[in-house]
């Protein structure tokens, strides 16, 4: 890969980045089905036909946004991996916290529900699937390690833990609490973290 880019190419990439940023925000706000390409064009400030010169379809638009989110998540996971002061359990908690903060910031596109034209497009999108598997592998290692360490319940199958962490990205509890207006963002994150990792039941005073 050359790092030397012509002015034209830089402008091109900057525009595509502006488009993807708008798509991310709209996806987080309304979801794929309710987001219209007209809205995206309006938010970016260009004509709809110009959008289609950059991305061939609405699905490709959304996939590009999902790839960018995956890259953010992978970057965050790399930071946590590099932090030698954290054990596997702490890394899992911190990536979950990052997920909740990202959702609260309105930057977490809602994942595709089971039946959606987006779902098929994402499954066929090589870049997205590679990143999803990389992230799953890294979190999977943390989970197995944390279960060996005794910080994550070994009675839960690892995929249950993985899906539960992933699901925080679209946890409706976050939105409900935000809409209620009785808690600030930090409190919402801590409440959801406590219910997720500690459970709803009362915990006996921990030996640890």
Partner DNA sequence: GTCTATAATAAGATAGAC
Partner DNA sequence: GTCTATCTTATTATAGAC
Q: Tell whether residue 104 is a contact of its own copies (CB under 8 A).
A: no
Tokens 């005073």 identify what position? Answer: 205
Q: Out of 17, 38, 87, 149, name the contact with DNA by CB under 7 A.
A: 38
195/179 Cα distance (integer angstroms): 19
Q: Out of 105, 176, 184, 186, name the contact with its own copies by CB under 8 A.
A: 176
194/204 Cα distance (integer angstroms): 14
Nearer to its own copies, 20 or 196 (CB): 196
Nearer to DNA, 8 or 203 (CB): 8
158/21 Cα distance (integer angstroms): 33
Nearer to DNA, 53 or 183 (CB): 53
Q: Out of 56, 127, 154, 175, name the contact with DNA by CB under 7 A.
A: 56
93/109 Cα distance (integer angstroms): 21
| Nearest distance, CB of residue 128 and DNA, angstroms | 17
| Count of residues touching its own copies (by CB under 8 A) | 55
Give the H or E element holding residue 117: helix 117-123
Q: Out of 2, 115, 126, 181, name the contact with its own copies by CB under 8 A.
A: 115
Q: Tell whether residue 114 is a contact of its own copies (CB under 8 A).
A: yes
Q: Tell whether residue 200 is a contact of its own copies (CB under 8 A).
A: yes
Which of the stretches 30-38, 70-78, 102-110, 177-185 binds DNA when contact is defined by CB under 7 A? Answer: 30-38
In angstroms, how far is the first alpha carbon of the chain from the final one? 49
Contact at 8 Å (CB) between 109 and 59? Answer: no
Residue 4's binding partner, choosing from DNA, its own copies, none, with beta-carbon cut-off 5 to 8 A by kind? none
Nearest-5° angle of CA 111, CA 116, CA 120? Answer: 90
Q: How crowded is the C-beta side of 70, counted as CA atoms within 13 Å?
A: 21
Which of the stretches 41-49, 74-82, 155-163, 188-196 binds DNA when contact is defined by CB under 7 A? Answer: 41-49
Contact at 8 Å (CB) between 174 and 106? Answer: no
Q: Out of 37, 144, 173, 193, name the contact with DNA by CB under 7 A.
A: 37
28/22 Cα distance (integer angstroms): 10
Q: Tell whether residue 161 is a contact of its own copies (CB under 8 A).
A: yes
Tokens 């915990």 identify what position? Answer: 203
Residues that bind DNA (CB under 7 A): 8, 12, 15, 35-38, 45-50, 52-54, 56-59
């Amino acid at each position: 890969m050359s790092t030397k880019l012509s002015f034209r190419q830089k402008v091109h990439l900057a525009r595509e980045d502006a488009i993807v940023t708008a798509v991310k925000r709209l996806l987080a706000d309304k979801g794929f089905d309710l987001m219209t390409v007209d809205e995206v064009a309006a938010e970016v400030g260009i004509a709809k036909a110009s959008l289609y010169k950059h991305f061939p379809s609405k699905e490709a638009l959304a996939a590009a946004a999902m790839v960018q989110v995956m890259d953010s998540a992978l970057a965050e996971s790399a930071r946590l991996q590099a932090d030698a002061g954290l054990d596997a359990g702490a890394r899992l908690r911190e990536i979950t916290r990052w997920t909740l903060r990202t959702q609260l910031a309105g930057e977490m596109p809602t994942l595709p529900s089971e039946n959606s034209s987006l779902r098929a497009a994402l499954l066929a999108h090589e870049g997205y699937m590679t990143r999803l598997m990389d992230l799953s592998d890294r979190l999977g290692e943390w989970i197995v390690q944390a279960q060996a360490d005794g910080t994550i319940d070994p009675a839960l199958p690892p995929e249950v833990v993985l899906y539960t962490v992933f699901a925080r990205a679209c946890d409706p509890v976050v939105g409900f609490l935000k809409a209620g207006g009785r808690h600030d963002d930090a409190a919402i994150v801590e409440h959801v973290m406590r219910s997720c990792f500690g459970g709803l039941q009362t915990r006996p005073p921990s030996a640890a």
